Amino acid sequence: MNEGLQNAYPGLVGTGGSVDVRNRVLRNTYWLLALSMVPTVLGAWVGVSTGIMNSLGAGMGAVVFLAGAFGFMFAIEKTKNSPAGVAVLLAFTFFMGLMLARMLASILGFRNGSTLIMTAFGGTAAVFMAMASLATVVKRDLSGMNKFLFVGAIMLLIAGVINIFVQSTALMATLSVVSIGLFSAFMLYDIKRVIDGGETNYISATLAIYLDIFNVFQSLLALLGIFGGQKD
């Protein structure tokens, strides 16, 4: 079955042993990653324009986010070996943009809100370029990082859920700093995994790197809002 898919849709699946396959997966991953930013921006625009996320409280918003995110990720996993996986992934990125709308609206409430958003975007792009470049020169096998990063992500998620109810600015700032470091490391790991042939499905690869980028951007934006927001 995989051979038929490979012939019909080159780059969707692969063996991981061929340099050509790995380069194709990496190239397709970057293209799909760039494309995924379009529905993300569209979702954020819809969310900010309509204020649809403001109708949800903090607790309900977290439930919707977690249920939607894990639901979409399950669907992506089930469809990743077919062209439908691309459509599901893009729908997921629209959803993630929608979920980002509450924070964006809050940041835009500052006098320098637009500048903060662009700064966060530029910072995230710089992190991505740095991790992508580092992944191409690091010769060491980074697979051992997986367990450490996974445990860190679980702890960060639990702390984030707790802070929904605590509403501590200091804790939010701390979690944002930790998140930037953790997901930058995840980014390096995920890109290196594609380069080494450990991930041969570009839809799965795009999902992993997209989540890294999303979390770095969101955390940078939160920090900039906390320390650099200028009220009218």
Confidence tier at 10 by pLDDT (50, 70, 90): very low
The pLDDT tens digits for 176-219 are 999 999 999 999 999 999 999 888 999 999 999 999 999 999 99
In this prediction, residues 219-227 reach a mean pLDDT of 93
Would you state the structure tokens that stand for residue 10, as one six-digit string? Answer: 């080159």
Does the structure show a pLDDT above 60 at 9? no
Q: How far are the Cα atoms of 63, 162, 165, 173 from residue 158, in angstroms, in the given order?
A: 13, 6, 12, 15
Q: Tell me the C-alpha distance between 3 and 211, whole Å.
A: 29
- Weakest-pLDDT range from 9-18, 54-63, 122-131, 171-180: 9-18
Q: Which long-range contacts (CB under 8 A, 24 or more apart) does 165-171 make?
A: 165/58, 165/59, 167/58, 169/226
b/e sequence 141-172, b meaning 16+ C-beta within 10 Å: ebeebeeebeebbeebeebeeebeeeeeeeeb
Confidence tier at 71 by pLDDT (50, 70, 90): very high
DSSP states of the chain:
-HHHHHHHSTTSS--S--HHHHHHHHHHHHHHHHHHHHHHHHHHHHHHHH-GGGGS-HHHHHHHHHHHHHHHHHHHHHHTTSTHHHHHHHHHHHHHHHHHHHHHHHHHTSTTHHHHHHHHHHHHHHHHHHHHHHHHH--S--TTHHHHHHHHHHHHHHHHHHHHHH--HHHHHHHHHHHHHHHHHHHHHHHHHHHTTS---HHHHHHHHHHHHHHHHHHHHHHHHHHH----
State which amino acid sits at residue 102: R
The pLDDT of residue 59 is 67
The pLDDT of residue 60 is 74
Does the structure show a pLDDT above 70 at 19? yes
Highest-confidence segment of 51-55, 65-69, 203-207: 203-207
The pLDDT tens digits for 73-108 are 999 999 999 889 999 999 999 999 999 999 999 999
In this prediction, residues 53-57 reach a mean pLDDT of 72
The pLDDT of residue 58 is 64
Q: What is the pTM of this model?
A: 0.87
The pLDDT tens digits for 118-173 are 999 999 999 999 999 999 998 888 888 888 899 999 999 899 888 878 888 899 99
The pLDDT of residue 64 is 85
Would you state the structure tokens that stand for residue 158, as one six-digit string? Answer: 């639990």
Write the CB contacts of 131 (distance below 8 Å, at least 6 apart in sequence). 184, 187, 188, 191
